[in-house]
Amino acid sequence: MPNNTPSEVSVTYPRAVVQVGSTARNRRRVRLEEKIVRSFLFLCASLGVLTTFAIVFILISESLGFFEHVSPGQFLTGTVWTPTFANPSFGVLPLVLGTLLTSLIALLLAGPVGLITAVYLSEYASPRVRRAVKPTLEVLAGIPTVVYGYFALTFLTPLLQRLLPGLEGFNALSAGLVMGIMILPTIASLSEDALYAVPNSLRYASLALGATRFQTVWGVVVPAAMSGVSASFLLGVSRAIGETMIVAIAAGQQPNFTFNPLRAVETMTAYIVRITMGDTPHGSVEYRTIFAVGLLLFLMTLALNLISERIRQRYKGARL
Amino acid sequence: MIPVVSRSEWRARERRREHLFQIVSALVVLLAITTLVVLLTKILLEGYARLNPQFFTSFPSRRAEQAGILPALVGSAYLLLLTAAIAIPIGVGAAIYLEEFAKHNWFTRLIEINITNLAGVPSVIYGLLGLQVFVRTLAMDRSLLAGACTMALLALPVIITAAREGLRVVPKSLRDGSLALGATQWQTVRHTVLPVAVPSVLTGVILSLSRVVGETAPLLVVGAVVYIGTLPESVFSKFTVLPVQVYNWTTRPQHAFQENAAGGIIVLLALLLTLNAVAIYMRNHFQKRLPI
Are A143 and B39 an interchain contact pair (Cβ–Cβ within 8 Å)? yes
Give the ranges where B2-143 is alpha helix by DSSP (H).
7-47, 53-57, 70-96, 106-119, 123-130
B35 shares a domain with B133 = no
B102 shares a domain with B61 = yes
B68 inside domain: yes
B1 inside domain: no
Are B133 and A146 an interchain contact pair (Cβ–Cβ within 8 Å)? no
pLDDT digits (tens, 9 = 90+) for B28-66: 888 888 889 999 999 999 888 888 888 888 888 777 778
B172 shares a domain with B63 = yes
User: Which chain B residues in 220-279 lie under 8 Å from chain A, judged by CB atoms?
Assistant: 220-221, 223, 243, 246-247, 250-251, 258, 261-262, 265, 268-269, 272, 276
Per-residue pLDDT, averaged over B86-92, amounts to 93
Are B39 and A58 an interchain contact pair (Cβ–Cβ within 8 Å)? no
**Residue of chain A whose Cα is closest to the Cα of B290:** A12
Query: For position B267, what pLDDT does the model report?
Result: 93
Query: For position B287, what pLDDT does the model report?
Result: 64
Are A155 and B215 an interchain contact pair (Cβ–Cβ within 8 Å)? no
CA A280 to chain CA mean position, Å: 29
CA B291 to chain CA mean position, Å: 30
B77 inside domain: yes
Chain B positions in Cβ-Cβ contact with residue A212 (cut-off 8 Å) = 14, 17-18
The 8-class DSSP code of residue A221 comes to I
A81: which strand partners?
A90
Residue B66: domain span: 55-288
Check CB contact of A182 with chain B, cutoff 8 Å.
Answer: no
For residue A13, pLDDT over 70 is answered with no
B118 shares a domain with B73 = yes
Instruction: Annotate B227-282 with DSSP letters as a single string.
Output: --SS---STTS----HHHHHHHHHTSSSHHHHHHHHHHHHHHHHHHHHHHHHHHHH
B40 shares a domain with B180 = no
Q: Which of A215, A244, A246, A268 to mutate to test the interface with B (most CBs of B within 10 A)?
A: A244
B15 shares a domain with B143 = no
Partner-chain residue, chosen from A248, A277, A291, that has the shortest CB–CB distance to B128: A291
- Please check whether residue A71 is in contact with residue A84, taking contact to mean a CB–CB distance below 8 angstroms: no
Query: What's the CA gap between A65 and A58, in Å, rounded?
Result: 11
B42 shares a domain with B88 = no
Q: Decide: residue A25, CB within 10 A, 0-12 exposed, 13-18 middle, 19+ buried.
A: exposed
Task: Give the minimum alpha-carbon distance from B54 to chain A in angstroms, rounded to a whole number.
Answer: 23
End-to-end CA separation in angstroms for chain A? 59
Distances (CA, A) of A236 to A106, A267, A301, B13: 9, 17, 10, 35
Distances (CA, A) of A290 to A16, A99, B153, B188: 57, 15, 20, 48
CB atoms within 10 A of CB A7: 7
Partner-chain residue, chosen from A18, A132, A298, that has the shortest CB–CB distance to B182: A18
What is the SS3 assignment for A189?
helix
Are A273 and B124 an interchain contact pair (Cβ–Cβ within 8 Å)? yes
Task: Give the minimum alpha-carbon distance from A228 to chain B in angstroms, rounded to a whole number.
Answer: 17
Query: What's the CA gap between A202 and A199, in Å, rounded?
Result: 6
Per-residue pLDDT, averaged over B187-192, amounts to 89
**Residue of chain B whose Cα is closest to the Cα of A140:** B36
Chain A positions in Cβ-Cβ contact with residue B121 (cut-off 8 Å) = 55, 242, 298, 301-302
Are B111 and A45 an interchain contact pair (Cβ–Cβ within 8 Å)? yes
Query: What's the CA gap between A15 and A279, in Å, rounded?
Result: 59
B204 shares a domain with B153 = yes
Helix, strand and coil percent figures for chain A, each rounded to 5: 75, 0, 25
pLDDT digits (tens, 9 = 90+) for A195-231: 988 999 999 999 999 888 888 999 999 999 988 899 9
Nearest partner of A257 among A120, A97, A119, judged by Cα: A97
**Number of domains observed in the structure of chain B:** 2
Are B118 and A213 an interchain contact pair (Cβ–Cβ within 8 Å)? no
Query: What's the CA gap between A100 and A1, in Å, rounded?
Result: 73
Query: What's the CA gap between A269 and A244, in Å, rounded?
Result: 5
B44 shares a domain with B188 = no
pLDDT digits (tens, 9 = 90+) for B229-264: 777 877 788 888 899 989 988 888 888 888 889 999
B242 inside domain: yes
Query: What's the CA gap between A258 and A256, in Å, rounded?
Result: 6
Are B217 and A41 an interchain contact pair (Cβ–Cβ within 8 Å)? no
pLDDT digits (tens, 9 = 90+) for A55-93: 999 999 989 988 888 888 888 888 888 887 777 888 888
Reported confidence tier of residue A4, pLDDT bands at 50, 70, 90: very low
Query: For position A209, what pLDDT does the model report?
Result: 93
Nearest partner of B265 among B248, B288, B286, B290, judged by Cα: B248
B123 inside domain: yes
CATH number of B175's domain: 1.10.3720.10
Ramachandran class of B48: left when φ > 0, alpha when ψ lies in -120 to 50, beta otherwise: alpha
Chain B positions in Cβ-Cβ contact with residue A159 (cut-off 8 Å) = none
CB atoms within 10 A of CB B279: 19
Query: What's the CA gap between B123 and B119, in Å, rounded?
Result: 9
pTM for the predicted model, two decimal places: 0.88
Check CB contact of A6 with chain B, cutoff 8 Å.
Answer: no
B121 shares a domain with B85 = yes
Chain A, chain B: beta-carbon pairs less than 8 Å apart:
249
B95 shares a domain with B151 = yes
Query: What's the CA gap between B268 and B249, in Å, rounded?
Result: 14
pLDDT digits (tens, 9 = 90+) for A229-287: 999 999 999 999 999 999 999 988 888 888 888 888 999 999 999 888 877 777 788 88
Last residue of a domain, which of B50, B69, B84? B50
Query: What's the CA gap between A107 and A114, in Å, rounded?
Result: 9
- Please check whether residue A249 is in contact with residue B250, taking contact to mean a CB–CB distance below 8 angstroms: yes
Task: Give the minimum alpha-carbon distance from A17 to chain B in angstroms, rounded to a whole number.
Answer: 7
B43 shares a domain with B148 = no
Query: For position B209, what pLDDT does the model report?
Result: 87
Q: Give the type of residue at A126.
A: S
Task: Give the minimum alpha-carbon distance from B233 to chain A in angstroms, rounded to a whole number.
Answer: 23
B122 inside domain: yes
Query: For position A21, what pLDDT does the model report?
Result: 55
What is the SS3 assignment for A81?
strand
Are A276 and B24 an interchain contact pair (Cβ–Cβ within 8 Å)? no
Rounded to 5°, angle at Cα B218 from A254 and B143: 120
B2 inside domain: no
Chain A positions in Cβ-Cβ contact with residue B160 (cut-off 8 Å) = 45, 48
A275 sits in which H/E element? helix A268-277
Are B122 and A306 an interchain contact pair (Cβ–Cβ within 8 Å)? no
pLDDT digits (tens, 9 = 90+) for A119-152: 998 888 888 888 888 888 888 888 999 999 999 9
Q: What φ, ψ does residue B227 adopt, rounded to 5°?
A: -90, 120
User: Which chain B residues in 40-69 lie under 8 Å from chain A, judged by CB atoms?
Assistant: 42-43, 46
Query: What's the CA gap between A312 and B35, in Å, rounded?
Result: 30
- Please check whether residue A179 is in contact with residue A236, taking contact to mean a CB–CB distance below 8 angstroms: no
End-to-end CA separation in angstroms for chain B? 59
Task: Output the average pLDDT for chain A.
Answer: 85
For residue A177, pLDDT over 60 is answered with yes
Task: Output the average pLDDT for chain B.
Answer: 86
Chain B positions in Cβ-Cβ contact with residue A56 (cut-off 8 Å) = none
